[in-house]
Structure 1
Amino acid sequence: MKSDQSMDQPIVFGAGDSSVVNPLHQKRPDSPVPSCVSMKSDQSMDRPIQFGAGDSSVVKDALQRLEINIEKTNRRRNEETEREEGSSAEQRPKHECEMEIVQYHKSLLQKKFQCLCEGISKQGNPTLLNEIYTDLYITEGGSGEVNDEHEVRQIEAASKRSVQYDTPVPCNDIFKPLPGQERNIRTVLTKGVAGIGKTISVQKFILDWAEEKANQDVHFILPLPFRELNLIKDKTLSMMDLIHHFFSDITDFSIFSEKFKLLFIFDGLDECRIPLHLQSNHKCSEVTEQTTVSAFLTNLIKGNLLPSSFLWITSRPAAASQIPPECVDRVTEVRGFNDPQKEEYFRKRVSDEDLANRTITHLKSSRSLYIMCHIPIFCWIAATVLEKILGETEGGEIPKTLTQMYTHFLIIQTHIKKKYTQREETDGGMIIKLGKLAFQQLQKGNLIFYEEDLQECGIDITEVSVYSGVCTQIFR
């Protein structure tokens, strides 16, 4: 830059001689001033550095400093990238992993419970639960007293009971307070006689959750039937081991944290062979503690273990008293089918409309049969028998009594048995043994049979387990 003093005076355009306007006519100054930009000749430039011809320490130092700076910059960038990726690995993948575990668990339960668990499935063509399921009549409350009357008598009494004062509870809403109720419901006890639909209700509840139709506030449903718990009743293990034993897909035991809502379903308390010492069992509050299955059950029920979890227990009436009233927040009773639900079931179960109408008409003509249709499993028996008899061209004697209905059912089952097994023992021999078992246990007032009871009647439990048809259905 030039200073002001070194600059030429500015041209005055209106002050006389206009020759000064043209700078080409200006006189060159005697002593030239340096230009703002100048170029050096080759001779005036420094000689280029010869890297191989002398001391290159200056260049080496410069390059070394440059390399160090580049390395520091790269290291800093890598550290920032790692921090960002680490943060992403800790947050996003963990959340996604938890959701994947939940979805995978749902898919397994959906696959397990989507097919109907009643009767004998048609070979290669299982019945889907959603296609045939009929809503059951479930009410809140129920007597807390033990009813030792035979269950068939209880069924008849229930069919005469007035529904005027009943409080219906939809199956998917059993953990939801009724309007006007302000209470938290943690433990639900559902009662009902054999074959009334307790297990099917559980199955439908789980399937609706797995298909994301209801109760999506629950993260994990863990069905633990007493029938299966009996098989490990003598083992000592932790709660985490117990869950992993039944649900191998659950390997991340962070599900026991309070942010996850767990629902345990214990189906079939009447089948439980595990002693429930609710008063004497030691207190257990840690999922990692090694203890007995009995201690886990009692501490879950009492709320010492996983108090934020939810419990659903189903039982036949005679066994329901094992759970103290103070440990139960709601009691419900499965009352089976009312009259409209009976008809709905047969129209779903019997695909031919004309055959379904004839089946319903015949059942209504017999008071005892129509009362027994209060029980869903009897509806299945009746549909199995009448669909075959009414559907045959020749026809035959149509059963009008319970004895006739069961006789035809046994005949159908023995025919199924002959297709899949070859046994030396005649059908008549096995039926006589089963009749002896039923009569003896009826005299004793027993509703549940055990292995020693079968042995008294000459029935080998290992043999009848493969006796397709008759025994598999009765032992179910």
Structure 2
Amino acid sequence: AAQYAIGLFGNKGFYSVCLKLHVLVIELDYKKKYREHIQEKYQAIKDSNSRLGEHVSLNKRYIELLIVKEHRQQKEKEHEIITRGRRHAELMAQQTSLTKISVLFDPEGDLRSPRTVVLQGAAGIGKTMTARKIMLDWAAGKLYQKYFDYVFYINCRKINCVTAWQSIADLVLNNCPDEKGPIKEIFENPEKLLFIIDGFDEFNSLLDMEEVSLCSDPSEKKPVGIVLCSLLRKKILQKSFLLITTRPTALGKLQKILNCSDEIVGYAEIMGFSGDEREEYFHKFFCDEKKAAQAFNFVKDNEILFTMCFVPIVCWIICRVIKDQMKKGEDLTQTSQTITSVYLLFLTSLTSDHFTDPEHMQTSKSNLEKLCSLAADGILEQKILFEEGDLQKRNLSFSNIQSLFLNESVFQKDVGCESVYSFIHLSFQEFFAALFYLLEEDEETTKKSVTSKRDVSNLLKMYGKESKNNYLMLTVRFLFGLSNKERLNDIEKKLLCKTSPEKKVDLLKWFQAEAKKISCLSYKTYKELCDQIELFHCLYELQEEEFADAAINNFQEIRLEHIRLTTMDEITLSFCVKNCCNKQSLYLCKCILGLPEQKEGWIAKLRKWLFPL
């Protein structure tokens, strides 16, 4: 056969064919090796509630999330979790534009099919989990098989720590089994490559380099920011495909970069769990049908908690708290009524050992206060990533925080990224920030804080400005929730931290002033109607009828027009209506109550609000 081939092609042609076949065999072998490596690397994850060194199967834990193939630009000052919660309720009502990961790319379809897709979503909504699942499913032959020979994962938070100059080839080799691979062969077909760029919002560089400084050669080494920007602007590997995940807060910055190329960009948004997916999550978390059903039924009956469970990490916190309460035999209805109460239970359960041990008491109390100070400064600066210097500034170390929370990842350090830290979720940072404002002043902590002092009035003034700093929205809700008498008592008894009950007077004064301002408006814009509803959410978190009565007294009437009320809105409004003075009136004009599929009519809903059992 060889002699026949030599006769057919000649010696030179024969050896050329053999060489190509040899290269093809090497490529096929390496593709197989790479897929096996990716499967091994991505099949397990560090679960939020696992102990040090423990991992769980990604396939067993992953639950499909709601994704819509469209996006809405978020205003800079909006609170992403609450804003996305309202958006989630609208989508559940409309059931439109739903899509799946498997159809985000279609290289063989329409010529206008995007090569770059932006997948946005709020903090903790499941962007990284989805990115990892794509890697695993591709490697297992379940996703994008016809489209991509290689899929590479780039974590923006981790490459923040890279100081050495890099090339695209280096970033690709970081994904490979032994950091070696047939780079030349891989780059020969860029149209068969997918780069997943995860967490664009966490990349520190401004990425505003001039065109002249960008690189076009995959092997050219430059600062990692320039290399990443070159890939995003398609100055390098122009025919490759990109999937970029980001929080809504960084979408504007990303669009400026992407607009520099002529590429068509597709957008999709992760909206979190549907009701059925929440139930599935509970069953996977508890691994016990009876306990899972008991926990889920409790949360489903508490619509505030059930609604917040659309965010996976919040769902985990709620499950974690309920599991602890079940072990202790506590009454769930008495202890987990609001999201504030759930978060406080979570905190006290994690710190219970340290605050009962006399040897650790004072140190733990000091570390907790310093962590609250760090959280508060971060919220005011809209900062979610902290460096070693931020901790050192407060005489705080990561080992002390780990010790305080018994190795739970409440405040986490990135693996392979020595100097970057974050809270497990933006909402947890906001909770600590609210707690900071209620604790008594500590001279050492105050000196180290940019907030200068725990001035609740100043915080509320910032939040209540005309520009409406809505990024402070959940912090203010938590502030009201933690001001509840029972919760202040828990903070003092279980965390041994002295609180300032007089801060509640500041909250009442601010609320009354805001209520008076809104009541005086003859016409309210949609935004002002939402601001009014947000005030009611604050009262609901506080859960004190006497305070609610005094606060609502400044509303001459409650008037809502042309607005969709989410389930959470209805419950909070119901609480406020029950605490209204007899002289006040409620006007609902062309408002939509609840979701269309709910059988309960609006008359029945109003009756439940006004005449509860």
Task: Settle same-fold status: TM greater than 0.5.
Answer: yes
Counterpart among 250, 254, 258 of residue 319 in structure 1:
250
Counterpart among 94, 116, 119 of residue 23 in structure 2:
94
RMSD across aligned C-alpha pairs, in angstroms?
3.4
Cα distance change, pair 363–241 in 1 and its aligned pair in 2 (3 A): same
CA deviations 1:141-184 (Å, max 9, x no partner) are: 212344422234224322432442731121232223899x6513
Describe how 1:21-420 pairs up with structure 2 within 5 A: 86=15, 89-122=18-51, 126-163=55-92, 164=94, 166-176=96-106, 183-216=112-145, 217-232=147-162, 234-247=163-176, 248-253=178-183, 254-258=185-189, 261-277=192-208, 279-280=210-211, 282-323=213-254, 324=256, 326=259, 327=261, 329-393=265-329, 398-414=335-351
Letter in 2 for 1:342: R
- Residue 293 (structure 1) shift: 1.5
Aligned to 2:605: none
CA deviations 1:97-129 (Å, max 9, x no partner) are: 111211111112111211134404256753211
User: Contact 2:164 / 2:223 at 8 angstroms: preserved in 1?
Assistant: yes
- Residue 393 (structure 1) shift: 4.8
Cα distance change, pair 95–381 in 1 and its aligned pair in 2 (3 A): same
User: Contact 1:117 / 1:200 at 8 angstroms: preserved in 2?
Assistant: no
Cα distance change, pair 178–425 in 1 and its aligned pair in 2 (3 A): farther
User: Contact 1:177 / 1:183 at 8 angstroms: preserved in 2?
Assistant: no
Cα distance change, pair 106–121 in 1 and its aligned pair in 2 (3 A): farther
- Residue 201 (structure 1) shift: 0.7
In structure 2, the residue corresponding to 1:403 is in which secondary structure?
A: helix
% identity of equivalent residues: 27
In 1, Cα distance between the equivalents of 2:170 and 2:131? Answer: 24
Cα distance change, pair 259–199 in 1 and its aligned pair in 2 (3 A): closer
In 2, Cα distance between the equivalents of 1:156 and 1:259? Answer: 38
User: Contact 1:195 / 1:375 at 8 angstroms: preserved in 2?
Assistant: yes
User: Contact 1:155 / 1:372 at 8 angstroms: preserved in 2?
Assistant: no
In 1, Cα distance between the equivalents of 2:18 and 2:363? Answer: 66
Cα distance change, pair 82–279 in 1 and its aligned pair in 2 (3 A): closer
User: Contact 1:236 / 1:291 at 8 angstroms: preserved in 2?
Assistant: yes
In 1, Cα distance between the equivalents of 2:108 and 2:277? Answer: 23
More moved, 257-266 vs 349-358: 257-266
In 1, Cα distance between the equivalents of 2:70 and 2:335? Answer: 39
Q: Which has the larger radius of gyration?
A: 1
In 2, Cα distance between the equivalents of 1:250 and 1:423? Answer: 48
Cα distance change, pair 416–303 in 1 and its aligned pair in 2 (3 A): farther
Cα distance change, pair 317–386 in 1 and its aligned pair in 2 (3 A): same
- Residue 465 (structure 1) shift: 6.9
- Residue 88 (structure 1) shift: 7.2
Point out where structure 2 has 5 or more consecutive residues left out of the alignment.
Answer: 414-421, 425-613
Aligned to 1:73: none
In 2, Cα distance between the equivalents of 1:368 and 1:177? Answer: 42
Cα distance change, pair 189–132 in 1 and its aligned pair in 2 (3 A): same
User: Contact 1:159 / 1:371 at 8 angstroms: preserved in 2?
Assistant: no
Aligned to 1:11: none
In 1, Cα distance between the equivalents of 2:108 and 2:73? Answer: 20
1:428 equivalenced with 2:365 (yes/no)? yes
Letter in 1 for 2:206: P
User: Contact 1:139 / 1:333 at 8 angstroms: preserved in 2?
Assistant: yes
User: Contact 2:215 / 2:227 at 8 angstroms: preserved in 1?
Assistant: yes
Letter in 2 for 1:408: L
In 1, Cα distance between the equivalents of 2:245 and 2:403? Answer: 28
User: Contact 1:155 / 1:374 at 8 angstroms: preserved in 2?
Assistant: no
User: Contact 1:137 / 1:335 at 8 angstroms: preserved in 2?
Assistant: yes
In 2, Cα distance between the equivalents of 1:110 and 1:415? Answer: 39
- Residue 280 (structure 1) shift: 4.5
Letter in 2 for 1:184: S
In 1, Cα distance between the equivalents of 2:11 and 2:354? Answer: 66
Letter in 2 for 1:402: I
Figure out how many residues of one structure are paired with residues of the other and give that number: 395
Point out where structure 1 has 5 or more consecutive residues left out of the alignment.
Answer: 1-75
In 1, Cα distance between the equivalents of 2:403 and 2:24? Answer: 46
User: Contact 2:191 / 2:241 at 8 angstroms: preserved in 1?
Assistant: no
TM-score by length of 1: 0.73
More moved, 435-444 vs 387-396: 387-396
In 2, Cα distance between the equivalents of 1:384 and 1:391? Answer: 11
- Residue 453 (structure 1) shift: 4.0
In structure 1, the residue corresponding to 2:245 is in which secondary structure?
A: strand
User: Contact 1:197 / 1:334 at 8 angstroms: preserved in 2?
Assistant: yes
- Residue 347 (structure 1) shift: 1.8
Ranked by relative contact order (alpha carbons within 8 Å, sequence separation 6 or more), the top structure is 1
In 1, Cα distance between the equivalents of 2:164 and 2:225? Answer: 10
Describe how 1:440-455 pairs up with structure 2 within 5 A: 440-455=377-392
User: Contact 1:437 / 1:453 at 8 angstroms: preserved in 2?
Assistant: yes
In structure 2, the residue corresponding to 1:231 is in which secondary structure?
A: coil
Aligned to 2:432: none
User: Contact 1:355 / 1:391 at 8 angstroms: preserved in 2?
Assistant: no
In 2, Cα distance between the equivalents of 1:456 and 1:169? Answer: 46
In 1, Cα distance between the equivalents of 2:390 and 2:77? Answer: 20
User: Contact 1:101 / 1:250 at 8 angstroms: preserved in 2?
Assistant: no
- Residue 288 (structure 1) shift: 2.4
- Residue 403 (structure 1) shift: 2.1
Aligned to 2:411: 471
More moved, 364-373 vs 209-218: 364-373
